[in-house]
């Protein structure tokens, strides 16, 4: 079955509604010119555009694999909006975030996934654990599941902490072949008993062409650096090569996850 090419809409932020203080990078609920509410991730926040890059790439990879993900949009913000905000911290954030930011459709009345109250199948648990190992997402623990229940269905959110190799300038080729030690803390690991089957299935769904198409969605201005020898296209291809290499060597992180599950 052919799946449509990934696409992103662009909206304009017209109103800052309220901050979400539980997020370390001060995300907020905003209203856009399409009359929808979005959870906005700001380029001027602590982790900068790299967190937005990770959010975009991981989110669209998850959508390709069949997970429920809020719609991701590019959101243009006018820094002049800062004049309307009484909070100085929010003013500074808005001023630093002019241009393209990233928004996720706000799931009104969604509740946080609770592993005590909510159950998932072994298959779905295995799919999510595999996915987080693939994108090196350290932020799906019992303390912070980053999953929501909305209309009795499970939705994945908040992937800005994934692809962490790009924050510390770590060599992508070495990191792509490393196991994912943080899987031992994954909230769904105890139920992930079908990792081998998921591995075979997901490797078929994530073609090099689909990975390239997803990475191509990242705005060029998020990839630009101060080093004139590092072109935007070169930066883009680092993400493509990291993901395709990690996918080709998925048995490394699958085995690590299986060993971590056995130790529980």
pLDDT band (50, 70, 90) for residue 168: confident
Reading the block at residue 213, the tokens are 């198409």
Say whether both 154 and 92 belong to one domain: no
Range of the domain at 120: 111-262
With 70 as the cut, is the pLDDT of residue 3 above it?
A: no
Say whether both 255 and 188 belong to one domain: yes
Say whether both 136 and 122 belong to one domain: yes
C-alpha neighbours within 13 Å on the C-beta side of residue 170: 14
Domain boundary among 74, 105, 136: 105
80-139 pLDDT per residue, tens: 999 989 999 999 999 999 999 999 999 999 999 999 999 999 999 999 999 999 999 999
- pTM for the model stands at 0.96
Say whether both 210 and 252 belong to one domain: yes
Q: Based on the structure, what is the number of domains in the chain?
A: 2
Name which of 122, 259, 134, 249 is nearest 192 in CA terms: 122
Say whether both 92 and 130 belong to one domain: no
With 50 as the cut, is the pLDDT of residue 185 above it?
A: yes
pLDDT given at position 46:
87
Q: Is there a domain that residue 152 lies in? A: yes
Say whether both 132 and 147 belong to one domain: yes
12-35 pLDDT per residue, tens: 999 999 999 665 668 999 999 999
Say whether both 177 and 252 belong to one domain: yes
pLDDT given at position 12:
98
Say whether both 149 and 245 belong to one domain: yes
Q: Is there a domain that residue 3 lies in? A: no
- β-strand partners of 19: 28
With 90 as the cut, is the pLDDT of residue 72 above it?
A: yes
5: phi then psi, degrees, rounded to nearest 5: -65, 140
Could you give the 3-state DSSP secondary structure of residue 17?
Answer: strand
pLDDT given at position 1:
45
Say whether both 173 and 117 belong to one domain: yes
pLDDT given at position 264:
86
With 90 as the cut, is the pLDDT of residue 52 above it?
A: yes
In the chain, % helix, strand, coil (3-state, to 5) comes to 45, 15, 40
Domain boundary among 88, 105, 122: 105
Name which of 239, 202, 264 is nearest 49 in CA terms: 239
Say whether both 14 and 143 belong to one domain: no
Say whether both 100 and 129 belong to one domain: no
Say whether both 174 and 62 belong to one domain: no
Q: Which of 84-93, 168-177, 208-217 has the least mean pLDDT?
A: 168-177
């Amino acid at each position: 079955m052919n799946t449509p090419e990934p696409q992103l809409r662009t909206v304009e932020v017209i109103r800052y509604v309220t901050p979400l203080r539980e997020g370390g990078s001060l995300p907020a609920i905003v209203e856009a010119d399409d009359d929808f509410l979005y959870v906005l991730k700001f380029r001027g926040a602590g982790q900068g555009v790299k967190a937005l890059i990770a959010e975009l790439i991981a989110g669209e990879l998850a959508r390709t694999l069949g997970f429920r993900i809020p719609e991701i949009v590019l959101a243009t913000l006018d820094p002049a909006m800062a004049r309307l905000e009484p909070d100085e911290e929010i003013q500074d954030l808005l001023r630093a975030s002019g241009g393209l930011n990233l928004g996720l459709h706000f799931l009104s009345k969604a509740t946080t996934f609770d592993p005590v109250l909510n159950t998932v199948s072994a298959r779905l648990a295995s799919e999510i654990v595999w996915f987080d190992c693939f994108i090196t997402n350290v932020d799906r623990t019992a303390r912070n599941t980053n999953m929501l229940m909305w209309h009795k269905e499970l939705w994945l959110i908040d992937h800005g902490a994934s692809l962490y190799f790009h924050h510390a300038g770590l060599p992508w080729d070495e990191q792509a072949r490393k196991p994912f030690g943080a899987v031992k803390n994954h909230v769904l690991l105890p139920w992930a008993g079908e990792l081998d089957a998921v591995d075979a299935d997901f490797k078929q769904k994530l073609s090099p062409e689909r990975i390239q198409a997803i990475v191509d969605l990242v705005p060029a201005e998020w990839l630009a650096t101060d080093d004139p020898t590092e072109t935007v296209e070169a930066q883009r291809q680092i993400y493509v090569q990291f993901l395709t290499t990690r996918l080709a060597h998925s048995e490394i992180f699958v085995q690590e996850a299986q060993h971590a599950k056995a130790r529980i």
